[in-house]
Amino acid sequence: MQNEYSNFLANTQDGFDDDGGKLFSHEIIRSRLNEKLWPVYERTKNKYALSQGDVLYFYAGGQGPLGGCVIARAKLHSIMAPMRRIPQRLYATGVVDSLLRLGEIELIEPTLLKPILIQQGVIKEENKKWGAFLMGGFSRIPASVANVLAGEAV
């Protein structure tokens, strides 16, 4: 699925629904993927680096049952201006700068990300603040990490 295109992690944290109830990050990811849309906020890291054809892997952060795992991937089909009214099912929490239209969406076997990042030399095992790599929305990942997540290499 990845050749000349870039690979990114789309990072999501736990949130809240309209009634103030806890919403785990994997639920937010699945809701957005069902809509085939992903919100991009004003201050999102790497938003200008994204382009059509890139492969996005979806990381569920937070304390939920799938926290720390990559649970899906999709291809970026297009980047659109935001709608006047953002669908509630996107659980957008800030000013939306653009929307990513997604295709070729696949739920993958939930895979812990940290061991792969260590194995591929992206972070060091002793790094206690490794989550800084994920901050800001979209983190570019090397092809070697994407290959492991795609099940193409171990």
pTM comes to: 0.90
The rounded distance, in Å, linking the Cα atoms of 147 and 149 is 5
Band (100; pLDDT cuts 50, 70, 90)? very high
Q: Given this model, what pLDDT does residue 43 score?
A: 87
Q: Across residues 110-119, what is the average pLDDT? A: 92
> What is the H or E stretch that residue 30 is in?
helix 25-35
What's the whole-number mean pLDDT along residues 66-93?
88
Q: Is the Cα dihedral 76, 98, 86, 111 positive or negative? A: positive
Report the C-alpha gap between 75 and 58 in whole angstroms.
11
pLDDT reading at 103 higher than 60 = yes
Amino acid letter, 12: T
**Average pLDDT across the chain, whole number:** 88
